Amino acid sequence: MLASRLYSPTLREIPAEAVVISHKYMLKAGMIRKIVGGIYVYLPLAWRTLQKIEAIIREEINKTGAQEIQMPIIQPAEIWQQTGRWAVYGDEMFRLQDRHGRQYCLAPTHEEMITTLVHMDTSSYKQLPVSLYQIQNKYRDELRPRFGLMRGREFIMKDGYTFDKDWEGLDRQYKLMYDAYTRIFTRCGLHFRPVLADSGAIGGSTTHEFEALADSGEADVAYCPHCDFAANTEAVVPNTLPCAVRSDKEKELVATPGQHTIEMVCDYLHAPVSQSVKAVVYKLDDKVVLAMVRGDHEVNEVRLQNIYGASIIAMASDEDLARCGLTAGYISPIGLHRTDDFDIVVDASVMEMQDACCGGNQKDMHYIHVNPARDFGDVRVETIRMINADDVCPKCGAPIEIKKGIEVGQVFKLGTKYSEALGCTYLDQNGKSQPMVMGCYGIGVSRTMAAAIEQSHDDDGIIWPVAIAPYEAVIVPANNKDETVMAAARSLYDAFEEKSDEVVLDDRNERAGIKFKDADLIGYPVRVTIGKKWQESGNVEIRIRRTGETIEVPLDACKEKVMEILADLHARNQ
């Protein structure tokens, strides 16, 4: 490829909305162009990287015995209504109507469609297992599309689905996919961890997320440096914490005028935040739920949703509070009663506390000297707090570490949730009808490209792992005006016959400094410079982007050396 022909319109001014590095560099290097929020054009450099990621995915997923298909993106509402997800997906789903008024969506995922498909054509145990996948655009009207390709509204996903006779079969498929995902992300050069996750709205049992560790990630990953424990913090049930304070003082109502946040109250009462109990009020489907955690803890909303089996979780509205007789800023369970549409759930660590402060259930009043186990009355007790950096590993007790992760993939044991809802059954050996046991497996292809940049860059630009670099090498003639330099650069470029599709010749009429800057920004793993040195000594300079290491070799040995360096980078997944 000649750099003068490359369609990569570079941006000098990066829009302020680009806050993460992958977004900035992809815009700057002319890899992507925004059309509207969360919807982008992939320009040639990005498209080449995406195709390389897809090729790795295809190779590894085909090895598991799965076959590639392509399903419709436009899907009828009916199949989504049958599983109940037409309602659950809410505003995140792009919906449309045809000319007859029939409703459709742009698929955010394909469980409904694949289950409908397999149901049509598979009826006997002899046809199982079935393992199918596709790579295509998905559509989610995300509340906050942001971070460029990391959270788009149109994005590329690889999604795979397996159908088995029984759970043992599913366990085998799951293991195959888990191992394939591990190989895929390793080959893409990512630093990642598979972590236990919550199965959330999609339903099912066991699930792992593949998290690329990076500060810009939106997930929190808790992992133990001493044992093999690793989980999304949403999926962790932390230990119940003891309370060092012992007290048999009776609870007392005190005035706290205007002190309506936990920090204000604790300040006012000279109490440590960890000796306070805070109230958060949710609406879980139709139920209002008062959740109580220690002042220095946060509620694990995913766990709360699971405990109540709710499809939708939201903060309670002012009307909800008024209806339940709750005074915002001053709420506690004391004197309240659970009903069919109002529940009180208290974190287990709160029940260990003594001499705590909490809301007084009237404006400008708080209770002090509260012993929740004694004073809270009839409440539901569950572990509903998030684990945090002060906690220990729930498995082995060693101090836990928490890091940010970018979810690049996820594998689920779905079980029979979708096959039952959509009647996807088979006849077993005894002629008895059974629901198929399903698994589903997703990879964010476009997000994986962004994650690779988040993990691997410097102040000058992208440092691609060689396997997914748009091009593997660039040849930079330092001075275009010098015909001998240009001729040498062309002859080297021509020498890369079999690798020619991986090499760029920067033939642009630009200063050497600009070419070097662009080479670093685009992140070619290897750069060859033909300039003054070559004229003086016959040597060209090879520079490795990742290490900054430079090597001088005679022009006629250059190709072989470059091939050796690239092979070495490939072998080390760097």
DSSP state of 417: H
The reply on whether position 419 binds Mg ion by CB under 5 A is no
Dump the DSSP string for 240-259: PPP------PPPEEEE-TT-
Whether residue 225 contacts residue 231, with contact meaning beta carbons closer than 8 Å, is answered with no
Smallest separation, CB 209 to ligand ATP (Å): 7
The rounded distance, in Å, linking the Cα atoms of 259 and 327 is: 13
Contact of residue 439 among ligand ATP, Mg ion, none (CB under 5-8 Å per partner type): none
Kindly report the backbone phi and psi dihedral angles of residue 129, in degrees, each rounded to the nearest multiple of 5, phi listed first. -80, 160
Whether residue 400 contacts residue 391, with contact meaning beta carbons closer than 8 Å, is answered with yes
Q: Which is nearer to Mg ion, 24 or 85 (CB)?
A: 85
Contact of residue 157 among Mg ion, ligand ATP, none (CB under 5-8 Å per partner type): ligand ATP
Q: Which is nearer to ligand ATP, 109 or 240 (CB)?
A: 109
Smallest separation, CB 161 to Mg ion (Å): 15
Dump the DSSP string for 131-165: EEEEEEEEE---SS-BTGGGB-SEEEEEEEEEEES
DSSP state of 468: G
Smallest separation, CB 447 to ligand ATP (Å): 4
The rounded distance, in Å, linking the Cα atoms of 439 and 417 is: 10
- Single-letter amino acid, residue 472: E
Smallest separation, CB 219 to Mg ion (Å): 9
- 3-class SS shares of the chain: helix, strand, coil, % to 5: 35, 30, 35
Q: Which is nearer to ligand ATP, 149 or 558 (CB)?
A: 149
The rounded distance, in Å, linking the Cα atoms of 283 and 299 is: 14
The reply on whether position 300 binds Mg ion by CB under 5 A is no
The reply on whether position 410 binds Mg ion by CB under 5 A is yes
Alpha helices in 325-392 (DSSP H): 348-351, 372-375
Stretch of 229-237, 280-288, 410-418, 445-453 contacting Mg ion, by CB under 5 A: 410-418
Smallest separation, CB 412 to Mg ion (Å): 8
Smallest separation, CB 209 to Mg ion (Å): 6
Q: Which is nearer to ligand ATP, 133 or 534 (CB)?
A: 133
* Structure tokens given for 358: 């909490």
Residue number of the CB atom closest to Mg ion: 410
The reply on whether position 361 binds Mg ion by CB under 5 A is no
Helix (H) or strand (E) segment spanning residue 532: helix 532-537
Q: Which is nearer to Mg ion, 259 or 410 (CB)?
A: 410
Contact of residue 518 among ligand ATP, Mg ion, none (CB under 5-8 Å per partner type): none
Contact of residue 224 among ligand ATP, Mg ion, none (CB under 5-8 Å per partner type): none
Residues that bind ligand ATP (CB under 6 A): 109, 140, 142, 151-152, 155, 157, 407-410, 442, 444, 446-447
Smallest separation, CB 116 to ligand ATP (Å): 19
Closest CA to 251 of 373, 382, 381: 373
Work out the number of other CB atoms within 10 angstroms of the CB of residue 419.
22
Smallest separation, CB 152 to ligand ATP (Å): 4
Q: Which is nearer to Mg ion, 411 or 466 (CB)?
A: 411
Helix (H) or strand (E) segment spanning residue 382: strand 380-382
Smallest separation, CB 308 to Mg ion (Å): 21
Contact of residue 111 among Mg ion, ligand ATP, none (CB under 5-8 Å per partner type): none
Contact of residue 546 among Mg ion, ligand ATP, none (CB under 5-8 Å per partner type): none
Contact of residue 171 among Mg ion, ligand ATP, none (CB under 5-8 Å per partner type): none
Q: Which is nearer to ligand ATP, 213 or 350 (CB)?
A: 213
Residue listed under structure tokens 């470029």? 493
Stretch of 32-40, 409-417, 453-461, 517-525 contacting Mg ion, by CB under 5 A: 409-417
Helix (H) or strand (E) segment spanning residue 171: helix 167-187
**Residues in contact with 251: Cβ distance below 8 Å, sequence separation at least 6, in sequence order:** 334, 367, 368, 369, 370, 371, 375
Closest CA to 212 of 187, 192, 189, 185: 192
Contact of residue 142 among Mg ion, ligand ATP, none (CB under 5-8 Å per partner type): ligand ATP
Smallest separation, CB 129 to ligand ATP (Å): 22
The reply on whether position 173 binds Mg ion by CB under 5 A is no
The rounded distance, in Å, linking the Cα atoms of 62 and 46 is: 24
Distance separating the N- and C-terminal Cα atoms of the chain:
23
Residue number of the CB atom closest to ligand ATP: 444
* Structure tokens given for 385: 């707090």
**Residues in contact with 23: Cβ distance below 8 Å, sequence separation at least 6, in sequence order:** 147, 148, 149, 150, 450
Order of strands, sheet of 365-370, starting from the edge strand that comes earlier in the sequence: 252-255, 365-370, 356-359
Smallest separation, CB 187 to ligand ATP (Å): 17
Smallest separation, CB 285 to ligand ATP (Å): 20
Contact of residue 114 among ligand ATP, Mg ion, none (CB under 5-8 Å per partner type): none
For the segment 32-91, give every residue that binds Mg ion (CB under 5 A): none
Q: Which is nearer to ligand ATP, 48 or 85 (CB)?
A: 85
Binding site for Mg ion (CB under 5 A): 410
